[in-house]
Amino acid sequence: MKSNPGMLVRNMSCSWSAGLACLLWAFASIAPTDCNAQSPTAAKTDEKAGASAATWDQWRGPNRDTTFPGPAWPTKLTESNLKLVWQHKLEPSYSGPVTDGKRIFTTETVGKREETTRAYDLKTGKQLWEVRWDGSMTVPFFAASNGSWIRSTPACDESRVYVVGILDVLVCLESETGKELWRIDFANQFGTGKPDFGAVCSPLLDKDHLYIQAANSFLKIQKADGKIVWRTMVEDGGMMTGGCFSSPAFATLGDRRQILVQSRINLAGIDPENGKVLWQTEVPNFRGMNILTPIEFEDSVFTSSYNHQSFLYQVPSSSGGKNPSENVSMAWSNPAKGYMSTPTVIDQHAYILLQNGRLACLSLKDGERKWTSPKSFGEYASFLTQGDRFLMLSNAGILRLIKASTEDCEVISELKLPEIDDSWAHIGIGTGTEGQVQIYVRSLNGLHVFDWVNQ
């Protein structure tokens, strides 16, 4: 295979305080009901985004909400029913794995010089191709101890993979061969320079287009040729406001389809057709650390920020919400600090890992905290959801199956995953060739595929 300019293609098998120094861990984000049933949120989101529900193709899954319409989950989580199918050692990355149903894709930073995207056969684990390009940077001193690795989770469709490098570069690859089809160097094209903490946003898929926060703005891009359709929500750069730590998600507020976008400072709704800012409000934050993917709830929007609180914002009726005023208003706030792990939502409640590592259940109706776990579950967690249960993978490699109860923290079972001690990437899920549930884990130093079966 002939390599493209600036890349090598191989066709082969927190802060000024200690708290802010932990910031870099956030950049991994920075996480099915029965076969025929989904939570109302999941069903509505899939309808809005027009997403294919067949593959785990992007950040937080095809619906961007941690759900996947696959086979019913087993009732427990044990060493005997969660079986490692294959694994590969890799260099570091915060990117979650994605799959088109045939291949699974992952990224890494190699030798502090290059970024790599690899494709593996999902069934056998055989490496199909590897692509490299120059791409590395050193993040500010207070975060550097946590590593300067690629952060964004790629996205894939039937024929292509879309990878965001740490230097604010988007590369489109042919999924079968790894051939580069197009690329956009946002930092150079718009003169914004590399983000101080590296590019973090995970691209959002939508039919013939994708959306991304880059170059201190929000952009719509044609999949076919990389043409930028529009650029909006342009903000100032700088260490406290430049770049972004969040990733966008679709929502339908009232009857108005829009994209929820959270920058370092602001939360907004964007018209996907023309890029118009439908509404916008500043989110209380500590040094621009707004990290969570915003979540739609009954024509309102939930988010939470480091060293602040959790919030539900009511959107004006003119922009699809129920609020009759012309301004965004805060419906409620709760002292729960969500920090960097985007929660899962089940039956009008958010299950969220707090800044102190404990899991909490918040009512999205009124902000009431139903419970807080008696112990810490880790610094970071990502979630998978089916019906009234969810899986939570901690940064320490502990996988927990939890009942979505509003009465108490009800851990059904938990399992320390073999050989995984450090995992800051979002967990993935899919269906194996025999119809079994599969779990995909990108640890800091490897890719691991498990079968989860009844036993």
- How many structural domains compose the chain? 1
pLDDT tens, per residue, the chain with 455 residues: 333 433 433 333 333 333 333 333 333 333 333 333 333 333 343 444 333 446 999 999 999 999 999 999 999 999 999 999 999 999 999 999 999 999 999 999 998 899 999 999 999 999 999 999 999 888 876 666 667 899 999 999 999 999 999 999 999 999 999 999 999 999 999 999 999 999 999 999 999 999 999 999 999 999 999 999 999 999 988 887 889 999 999 999 999 999 999 999 999 999 999 999 999 999 998 888 899 999 999 999 999 999 999 999 999 999 999 999 999 999 999 999 998 999 999 999 999 999 999 999 999 999 999 999 999 999 999 999 999 999 999 999 999 999 999 999 999 999 999 999 999 999 999 999 899 999 999 999 999 999 999 98
Domain CATH code at residue 44: 2.130.10.10
Residue 88 lies in a domain: yes
Note the residue count of the chain: 455
Distance CA 221, CA 186 (A): 12
Looking at residue 242, its pLDDT comes to 87
- Structural domain that includes position 168: 7-31+33-452
Instruction: Enter the DSSP assignment of 27.
Output: G
The C-alpha atoms of residue 432 and residue 168 are separated, in whole angstroms, by 34
- Is position 2 within any domain? no
Give residues with Cβ within 8 angstroms of 6, minimum separation 6. 133, 134
Which pLDDT score is estimated for 43? 36
Strand boundaries in 263-364, DSSP class E: 266-270, 277-282, 295-297, 300-304, 310-314, 329-334, 344-346, 349-353, 358-363
Q: Positive or negative CA dihedral for 264, 260, 338, 298?
A: positive
Report yes or no on 183 lying in a domain.
yes
CB-side neighbour CA atoms (13 Å) of 402: 30
Q: Is residue 1 part of a domain?
A: no
Q: Give the phi and the psi of residue 218 in degrees, each rounded to 5.
A: -125, 130
CA distances to 36, 111, 279, 293, 332 from 257, in Å: 25, 43, 13, 17, 24
Does the residue 366 lie in any domain? yes
| Residue 402 resides in a domain | yes
Residue 203 lies in a domain: yes
How far apart (Å, rounded) are the C-alpha atoms in residues 312 and 332? 6
Query: Do the domain assignments include residue 237?
Result: yes
Amino acid 141: pLDDT: 67
